[in-house]
A and B are shown apart, each in its own frame.
Chain A
Amino acid sequence: NAGVTQTPKFRVLKTGQSMTLLCAQDMNHEYMYWYRQDPGMGLRLIHYSVGEGTTAKGEVPDGYNVSRLKKQNFLLGLESAAPSQTSVYFCASSYFGAVHYNEQFFGPGTRLTVL
């Protein structure tokens, strides 16, 4: 199993450009998450999904959109990139149900620079 994969690994954008980050998981997980990691701030939740066709806002959703058209994929979109969105983005997934204790499995990250 590949686990959680993210595409691309690196990207440089100019201010105002758009892009989509792709997250894929092969563990049949119900829940998927997008985080951003910035120095000294830990991981902050951008958006998440509790199942195919559903999405919800996290702690820092502004400037991002997401879609979960297939259970195994979770897309993060930046419609008009800003330098403040320079960050490392992590996707994660987890099983549904309390018995799994909300343990999340993480992808390798995407390093995005907005000039």
Chain B
Amino acid sequence: AQSVTQLGSHVSVSEGALVLLRCNYSSSVPPYLFWYVQYPNQGLQLLLKYTSAATLVKGINGFEAEFKKSETSFHLTKPSAHMSDAAEYFCAVSESFGNEKLTFGTGTRLTIIP
């Protein structure tokens, strides 16, 4: 069985500050991990994905995430927040074989303070 926990349903950071959104997962087999972003009144857009190639994954809009197997974590970071980063972010996990479904976390709403 697979599951995802996102710590913090709301995160606020100042413009220019570090963004850190936390995601922990559980999976009975090696996982694939994803971060999706949802802007207001829109669908989900893929930010980045971990597929067992490199543990540090770079995505769009300056975001990156690091897969840490020992901590079962896949936290999302961005060195300097921009006003346009305000959105809801979802972490998702899929088992690397035998499972065609994604399991999503409950989401983290990111607010950027001017």
Interface residues of A (CB under 8 A from B): 4, 31, 33, 40-45, 48, 50, 58, 90, 92, 94, 98, 101-109
In the complex, whether B111 has a CB less than 8 A from a CB of chain A is no
Q: Give the docked Cα–Cα distance between A94 and B41 (Å).
A: 22
Interface size on B, residues (CB 8 A): 24
Closest A-chain residue to B95, C-beta based? A102
Taking the nearest CB of chain A, how far is it from the CB of B84, in angstroms?
19
> Interface digits, B54-80 against A, CB 8 Å rule (1 contact, 0 not)?
000000000000000000000000000
Q: Which residues from B are CB-within-8-Å of A41?
A: 106
Contact of A42 among B51, B97, B107 (CB under 8 A): B107
- Provide the bound-state CA to CA distance between A105 and B107, in Å: 18
A83 to B49, CA, bound (A): 36
Instruction: Tell me whether A106 and B45 are in contact (CB under 8 A).
Output: yes
Which residues in chain B, 9-43, are within 8 Å of chain A measured between CB atoms? 9, 32, 34, 36, 41-43
CB proximity of B89 to chain A, nearest CB, Å: 11
Q: Are A42 and B100 in contact (CB under 8 A)?
A: no
Q: Is the CB of A42 within 8 A of B32?
A: no
Cα distance, A51 to B64, chains bound together (Å) = 33
Given the complex, which residues of A lie within 8 Å of B49, measured CB to CB?
A: 101, 103
Q: Which residues in B have their C-beta under 8 angstroms from that of A31?
A: 100
Q: Assess the B90–A101 pair: CB atoms within 8 A.
A: no
